[in-house]
Chain A
Amino acid sequence: SAVISQKPSRDICQRGTSLTIQCQVDSQVTMMFWYRQQPGQSLTLIATANQGSEATYESGFVIDKFPISRPNLTFSTLTVSNMSPEDSSIYLCSVPQGYNEQFFGPGTRLTVL
């Protein structure tokens, strides 16, 4: 399996600020995915990060709120902009593995005050 790291592992932020989360993979991958897991909920796909083109966002998520960068095949960032307490979640990146499976990073636990 790929080795995925995320930074920061956790953060506490003030409302109105922005946080950029980094995801680093130890091998080149065509796609990287960003998920959100709100407290007590399951995972929801935010967007697919494509190298060399804009990210593809899922319904309910917009680029202005969650800008994504994908400068190369091993790295991506997700920014949570103008945060509110409702953005308190775990944010996870993942990469494809095997046949339609995905392998997840350790997650970033975000608390917005």
Chain B
Amino acid sequence: RKEVEQDPGPFNVPEGATVAFNCTYSNSASQSFFWYRQDCRKEPKLLMSVYSSGNEDGRFTAQLNRASQYISLLIRDSKLSDSATYLCVVNTGGGNKLTFGTGTQLKVEL
């Protein structure tokens, strides 16, 4: 089983739609959780950290369920500029070691 699993997509949605991505992780000792965004042929960039209480940043909402080892990202009112690959990232071993999921590709269309 992969340490971090995501549905690869692609998710093709119309502009203005709400879309949700899910991610599961295998190591119950994982401590920190993130969503990164990666545009085509670019480096990953931090979108948001994920906290146990859930957190929201504008149109983006991230949630963590430690009992189920599950992380989610909700994007409301999708924009064309949201088209990218969204990477679920987990700090699995303490320190600064990050484990990346394979990413979920989002395509927002007119």
Contacts and interface: CB of A to CB of B under 8 A. Distances in A.
Contact of B31 (A41, A44, A100, A105): A100
Nearest to B99: A45
B34 A101 contact: yes
Contact residue range for chain A? 20 to 34
A43 B100 contact: yes
Interface residues of B, number: 20
B57 interface: no
Contacts of B100: 42-44
A69 B69 CA distance: 37
Given A92-B43, A101-B46, A107-B43, A31 B96 contact: yes
30 contacts: A33-B96, A41-B102, A42-B87, A42-B100, A42-B102, A42-B103, A43-B44, A44-B100, A45-B98, A48-B97, A92-B44, A96-B96, A97-B46, A98-B49, A99-B32, A99-B49, A100-B91, A101-B32, A101-B46, A101-B49, A102-B46, A102-B96, A103-B46, A104-B44, A104-B45, A105-B43, A106-B42, A107-B42, A107-B43, A109-B41
